[in-house]
Amino acid sequence: MLQPRSQKYSAEKRQKMQRQSRFWMLVNLTLIVLIGLVLTFSYFNNKSLLGGRTVSDSPAQNISPQQGTGTNPSGNSSSITPADTSQTDEDFSAETVGKSSVGSLVINFAGDTIFSGKVAEKMNRDGIDSPFKYVKDLFQKDDLTILNLETPVTTRGIGAKNKQFVFKAHPDALKAMKNAGVDAVNVANNHTLDQGVQGLLDTLEHLKTNKISFAGAGKNSNEAYAPVYIERKGIKIALFGFSRVLPELSWNARADRPGIAGVYNDDVKLAVKSIQDARKKADLIIVVAHWGKERVTVPDSNQNSLAHSFIDAGADLVVGGHPHVLQGVEQYKGKWIAYSTGNFVFTKATNRPKTWDTAVFQAHCTTGGKCDLRMIPYFTEIGQPVPKNAKDGATLIKEIESLSPGVKIDSNGNFKASNQDTSLGLIPSDSDNKADNSTNNSG
């Protein structure tokens, strides 16, 4: 018997609805699986950051900036004849760089970085990512990259008084840093307050916005002297930033004042105590220090005594900057000290060729705090570090070895302690009663 038309239509409608229901169920399941895959990939592809300080998420707009005058410099040279950087020989090898094994980390350190004057002009002309053209592959493959950010990052602020060099960078520059693989910066230096307190606070906010960790400054001394904790492969790193070069001691952070983590006078005890406290929590402790004499290749006695104090307190690795030139390396109690990493993304003075040499210092560290150290030679062009060719790289390695008593450096740039005399031949340092190089620091 044939079904009535109405019953037949109802059956067909039910079948159609069932087919549609199965179809949309399949589509939804497919979307759920795809979303899960994307989230899983993103989770394992991103580097996780753990903040080690208690910082408000909102900008501190109610703090009045310091008063001052000053202009942004155009850099310390204008008409520049670059040295020959043609790669007639094979570039210094970095093929083994950036490959870490289970239980170990690859951490790259580089020197003073600005985005003002001639550097800004290059970025406007060649693209915002141009400073990192030759290092981004290196930085993107490692576990952690740390630079010294030698400039406030702000569109506001008032220039500091009585300074020859006053820097200021646009926030977009941090996007280029992040894209290049830079994960963290030291902001304890003699330029972070070039645009006053407002410039400092803006800098910290812009770094947070771009997910770049920072150490060495804060809204008060508790924040400034605290480490930032960064976790990689289950290894918890405590990163500190300290400066022994401040234009004036009022730049030093206090309980009720934003500023820098300076290491003058009794503040050294505060830095040491912070390191000792972090030793109870961290697997690896790194100190980035700003110190020393500009354009002097030998550390002063303050650099040496501070570095030893940091290691005695529990630091596993100390990396310094500020002199604009490379300085020697020392091993103290089994821990490495790189006294100065030189300039990195910076201007270039025609009459100071030592400032043209730089290097990426690469550490291979384990959860037990043991680090091996290597240098990768570069040449500092205006606003862009360029790899040295094999011949020039070997020459620079020999120069740094000559500045590092008790240390041998092989042809690949690997450092090894020797049994030779370890006396560094230190130069005298300034008194603790005043800030070093008080007004005319360029880096």
Residue 357 lies in a domain: yes
Residue 56 lies in a domain: no
Residue 144 lies in a domain: yes
Residues 6+ apart with CB under 8 A from 305: none
Q: What's the domain range around 239?
A: 104-417
Residue 275, both tokens = 């390191």
Question: Measuring CA to CA, how many Å separate 145 from each of 179, 214, 250?
Answer: 12, 12, 30
Instruction: For residue 338, give the CATH number of its domain.
Output: 3.60.21.10
Task: Give 105-119 pLDDT, tens digit per residue.
Answer: 999 999 999 999 999
Residue 216 lies in a domain: yes
Domain count, the chain: 1
Sign of CA dihedral 39, 41, 42, 43: positive
Residue 19 lies in a domain: no
The stretch 345-365 carries a mean pLDDT of: 92
Task: Give 424-436 pLDDT, tens digit per residue.
Answer: 667 676 654 445 5
Question: Measuring CA to CA, how many Å separate 133 from each of 14, 138, 162, 344?
Answer: 62, 10, 35, 13
Residue 52 lies in a domain: no
pTM for the full model? Answer: 0.78
Backbone angles phi, psi at 271, to 5 degrees: -65, -45
The stretch 181-189 carries a mean pLDDT of: 99
Q: What is the percent of the chain where pLDDT is above 70?
A: 74
Residue 437 lies in a domain: no
Is the pLDDT at 288 greater than 80? The verdict is: yes
Q: What is the DSSP letter of 159?
A: P
d(CA 120, CA 126): 10
Which of the four pLDDT bands, split at 50, 70 and 90, describes residue 32? confident
Residue 21 lies in a domain: no
22 sits in which H/E element: helix 5-45
- Is 272 within 8 Å of 237 (Cβ atoms)? no
Ramachandran sector of residue 127 (left: φ over 0; alpha: ψ -120 to 50; beta: rest): left
